[in-house]
Chains A and B, each alone.
Chain A
Amino acid sequence: MILLQALAFILDGQNWVSGPRILYQLGVTLSISAISVLIVVVIATPIGIAIGHTGRGRGVAILLSNVTRALPTLGLLSILIVLIGVNATPVAIVLVLLGIPPMLAGVYAGIESVNRSTIDAARAMGMTEGQIIGRVEIPLAAPLIVGGLRATTLQIVATTTVASAFAFGGFGLYLIKGLNTADYVQMAAGAILVTALCLLIDGLLAVVQRLVAPRGVPRDGADSASPKPRARASRSRATATVSPLQEGMQS
């Protein structure tokens, strides 16, 4: 059984420090992912807040996410590597490009989902626009913002696997090396490691998503099908996953 042998490969403590050096490859995967996520957050958060707060520029964001969905990761990587060279820069550029749309969508959908009358109430109390954003909209939008961060992080970690195809380190290296040398145990071990890492990160961020939900606000469950009627955000989260494409490509 290849799967059992792969598990044995992973559980062998020796493999973590010498030979395949799992610990080192984990570090490579995590560090390039962390840097890319950080860049995405710095770029996408302010833009997402601006779109959500003003309600403008949504079309551009939807168009961007449609285009990146259609662009093959492998193609983007190969072009940038041919142009820039085999190093971390082209990989980081691709990771950031693919990571921006989900983060942007999470932020603007979150800000947009804040009840219009809550914002009006804040304004009536004399809050400045900055205070409304910082003290009302962001806290209320926090679960959706973290949801965007979660999607972005997963997208980025998963894409590092493909980046390994171009001799860049990370768990994907086991997949590619295993394939090329017909070492299917190593290949399966790589697949299990990267899958486990993704599930772990997803689980952790799901917990964070629950923790950042402001107290006293009814929790909008991850799969609530019936959004409360709102003045501004006329769409539920559930349909938001589908409708951007529909909207963006209609006409």
Chain B
Amino acid sequence: MILRGREEKKPFSAKVDVAIVGSGAGGAVVAETLAKCGLSVIVIEEGGHYTQPEYGTFRPSYTFRRMAREAGLSAALGLGDTPLISLLAGKAVGGSSILTGGVCFRIPEQFLMEWTRDLHIPRVSPEALAPMFEEVEQAISVETVPIDMRSRATELFVEGAAKMGIKMKPLRRNTTGCKGAGRCNFGCPHGAKMSVDLSYLPAAQRHGTVILSDALVDRVDTSGGVARGVRGRFLDEAGEPGVPFEVRAKIVVVACGSMHTPVLLKNSGLGGHNIGRHLTLHPAVRVGALFDEAVNGWDGAMQSAFSDHYLDDGITLNGVYAPVNVLAAAFPGVGRAHKALVHQMPNLGFFGAMVHDEGGGTVRRGLGREPVITYRMAARDKTRLLRSITILGKMAFAAGAKEVFAPVFGMPTLKSVAELEALEASPPKAHKIECLAFHPLGSAKMSAREDDGVVSPTGETWSVKNLFVGDGSVLPTSIGVNSQLPIMAMALRTAKGIADDWKRYAAVAR
């Protein structure tokens, strides 16, 4: 059952076993897992509820304004020599899983070994997490993108990479029956992407889970050091908080995402210097290439190929595309010059890269409901970002591109490898780099010792019993790959732990 908060005119209260704040990749997995065990579960989501047939027809800007935080205009403010980093996060039933490209990676073993060996976190070894990954992959239908679903633009970049000795591999995505509409991250028009609103949440509902949409949780109620439930207000038709609600629960799971989980924890009175710190982003860039032939980048899977050739150097190359108006928004120039570039769209291909970053991000409470996010990029990561631009540019030229669009504001297109190398040799100021991030992680990180993090290895906060974090905030380091599947696997691990120890948690709640 889904209750739309904006339609609720009277105060609402409920008493359940588990209250989950956030309906994205993490919260949905926890809900389904615990509901399947016979627990009563309520999922509380700040965003609205849109069905797939509904959001499948939205224009990209409508998807942004209805289903993304800050209408898609969230950003991390760069401190020091750091670019402004555009951040995309979902705010709807299904969360960011509706706005991903569907790319699914397991956490690379090197990071799991680091968590196990160096950070001493139990049950996160490759062997321990493998069953979690397998279960989630089956539930969301993870499959390899067929080679022939690559757009011509992607094929050309792959050819360019091959000439440079860079091996490209097919990506895996959570899709079934993909028709290559090329706009996965604005809501799949065919319902082919198995975002959690089409997979885990319906399954949870079949086991009795209730979903509250348009419901802003103000705080987690605690007493005696134990979580007792949550309280908040429904959002009205103008998006403003109004009618109050209250949910009493034996366990509360916070899964609002790395940008909002720390804010809710702080608003609920949790202290400690680790909340909101250690945010990692996977800063990313995309490079455009102008070809002589029409490559119609929109005609094919939005993301279909990747390379881990530079993984040891902290760089992952990922095929990307986006609706043409969104791509046009990043083009340089003004007036006639800008228009001329935009009208070459059929001949433009794009490829992206993201950096496995050291961190340096912080989430703070802002003036309103949205947090203030700052990020100080490590010198190492800025070097990696610039190197990514050079690698992608060289791939484009090797594939026969006649011009390359570097992600540098105000910079004309590059017409040769020499110009590209000059850019790397004499880098622009950081604020001129167009930088994006889609994987905020680690702002309430898991640790083996209370002093080092916010949650224990079970996912329970160190400072409040029966209060868990079930989203990407708990990841103790950056992982260098797309985070949807890792978040879901870690959430499943947490949920299974809760289910296994339910009697103990229920006793604490009494």
A, B from the same assembly:
no
